[in-house]
Amino acid sequence: MEKVLVANRGEIAVRIMKTCREMGLSTVAVYSDADRAALHVSYADEAYRLGPGPATESYLRTDLILEVARRAGADAIHPGYGFLSENATFADACVSAGITFIGPPASAMRTLGSKTKARQAADLSGMPRVPGSVTGLSSVQEAIATASQIGYPVMLKAAAGGGGKGMRAVWSQAELPSAYVGASSEAERSFGSGEVYLEKLIQCPRHIEIQVIADMHGNCLYLGERECSVQRRHQKVIEEAPSAVVGEDLRRRMGEAAVRLALSAGYVNAGTVEFLLDAEQKFYFLEMNTRLQVEHPVTELITGLDLVEMQLHVAMGQKLRLRQDEVQLRGHAIECRIYAEDPGNNFLPSPGKITRLLQPSGPGVREDCGVYEGWNVPLEYDPMLSKLITYGATREAAISRMLRALDDYVIGGIRTNLGLFRRILSDSDFRSANIDTGYLDRLLSQVASDKDGSVPEQIISLAAVILSERREKVKASSAVALASRWKSAGRSEGLRA
Ligand code: MV4
């Protein structure tokens, strides 16, 4: 392998290319018309235009991407996350064209891509899963019969789904017929398949996932867990590793179950096994993501490993270079997903020109960024700007560093969710790791009710949000404030000299 085409954009494209460079591999970027001036384009050794802005005419055009690979002489393609990363047909097409797909075999992607087939694979490997059906339901009658067996509340889910689409919680038999029709038609619209199945509803679960990586020689490792319970509308907002509630024994049991599933599904390369963890610390298999995930850096920081490097080694046919007993978790890492969006206006995307960008750095701070000062954030794609990741010896240290790094971060010209992170990281429930998948919704409705409420404590928390937003604006718009901030830093340097 000598030349890698990265079939993606933004921070993940840049992050993948950084490792390629370190390994002496040359890099090929692809871009749409909306991304001509994007960071990943200038970072790559070569860059090729795909087509117009919409992803369906550019980043999702498998034919154009394979044509670029041929023209550029790339011998491997890294799909990143999203776009074509979980498309088994694309993985097959790469192999047919003689190009290495840096990801799992298409067959494993197909098995695990179907949620019902994945549940069957879980059973085969002895993995604990949520009670319920392992095949699609064929009628409302069958749904009623199955739900009676499981016991209410239950959850309807799309077999082809993921990400919460085509999902309905059902609390009683009376609600089931309309929920069945609703979930099935939403699944049909979203995924082209109306197949749905039933699961027992797990209430107030935590979302914990295990990173695995397997080579082509039958070796597979688990690299600890990530806690991803801070979510909004099935979009993760903050992730951390390790989870504050996962001890050594639970970690080993979840990790070994994840490895068994990966091996039994013929999995190769990096993947993530998602679990729900209930209040009694029982874990249930949810699904397996067959890609490198957005939140992989927190695992990298606590393991000291480079997951992209491992992906490339594995894709080259090499053996994993360490054994399970050599995987050591150290310290704590937290990631905040920085978005161009307006938390004060229903999280509406806020594309536009970045007029000012001061990026945090320093001890224990990593920023995986896809933008630069002066660039126009396009409206065509997911508006994630960067990921801010901090590391510390303890969870408290990582949080303190994150608060410092957020204060050091200046993004001018567009609205961002920086202020929201300050709010979450100073919240007492978050600080005591008292979080579940409903945590952020509860916090946000509290902030919203503060706006018309009269409870002094809530007024104080609202004031904190407003003040941090004002501070944001002052930092971003006032050149004088910025100059004096840096000048005073310079002056104290001078005094010391
Ligand atoms: C569940 C569940 C409770 N019980 N399944 C949401 C997205 C999809 N991947 C699975 N999801 C859930 N499945 C059962 N049987 C609760 C969720 C869920 C959730 C899961 C992970 C992270 C955030 C979530 C937010 C709401 C619901």
Structural domains in the chain plus CATH codes: 3-102 (3.40.50.20), 131-200 (3.30.1490.20), 206-454 (3.30.470.20)
Helix boundaries (H) for 156-273:
176-191, 248-264
The encoded tokens of residue 38 equal 């994007």
Alpha-carbon distance of 320 to 84, in angstroms, equals: 25
Q: Does any ligand 1 atom lie closer than 6 A to the CB of residue 199? A: yes
Q: Is 372 helix (H, G, I), strand (E, B) or coil?
A: coil
Quote the ligand 1 centre to 89 CA distance (angstroms): 27
**Residues, the chain, total?**
497
> CA–CA separation, 327 vs 383, rounded Å?
34
In 3D, which of 162, 157, 133 has the Cα closest to residue 145? 133
162 lines ligand 1 (CB under 6 A): yes
Are 354 and 377 within 8 A, CB to CB? yes
**Among the listed residues 123, 110, 85, 108, the one whose alpha carbon sits nearest the alpha carbon of residue 263:** 108
Distance separating alpha carbons of residues 464 and 476, to the nearest angstrom: 18
**Whether 31 contacts 41, CB under 8 Å:** yes
Could you say which DSSP state residue 132 is in? Answer: B
Rounded to whole angstroms, the Cα distance separating 481 from 419 reads: 19
Rounded to the nearest whole angstrom, what is the distance from the C-alpha of residue 166 to the centroid of ligand 1?
Answer: 12
Q: CA 59 to CA 48: how far, in whole Å?
A: 12
Cα separation values, 238 from 114, 147, 266, 297, Å: 27, 34, 31, 12
**CA 374 to centroid of ligand 1, rounded, Å:** 39
How close is the Cα of 474 to the center of ligand 1, in Å?
39
Q: Which of the listed residues 202, 239, 284 should we mutate to test ligand 1's pocket, taking the one with most ligand atoms within 8 A of CB? A: 202
List the beta bridge partners of residue 308. Answer: none
Pocket test for ligand 1, best of 157, 228, 437 (most atoms within 8 A of CB): 437
**Mind listing the pLDDT tens digit of every residue in the chain (497 residues)?**
999 999 999 999 999 999 999 999 999 999 999 999 999 999 999 999 999 999 999 999 999 999 999 999 999 999 999 999 999 999 999 999 999 999 999 999 999 999 999 999 999 999 999 999 999 999 999 999 999 999 999 999 999 987 788 899 999 999 999 999 999 999 999 999 999 999 999 999 999 999 999 999 999 999 999 999 999 999 999 999 999 999 999 999 999 999 999 999 999 999 999 999 999 999 999 999 999 999 999 999 999 999 999 999 999 999 999 999 999 999 999 999 999 999 999 999 999 999 999 999 999 999 999 999 999 999 999 999 999 999 999 999 999 999 999 999 999 999 999 999 999 999 999 999 999 999 999 999 987 776 554 444 455 555 556 666 666 666 655 544 554 444 444 333 334 33
pLDDT attached to residue 325: 98
Indicate whether residue 94 lines ligand 1 (CB < 6 A).
Answer: no
70 is catalytic: no
**What distance, in Å, lies between the first and last C-alpha atoms of the chain?**
50
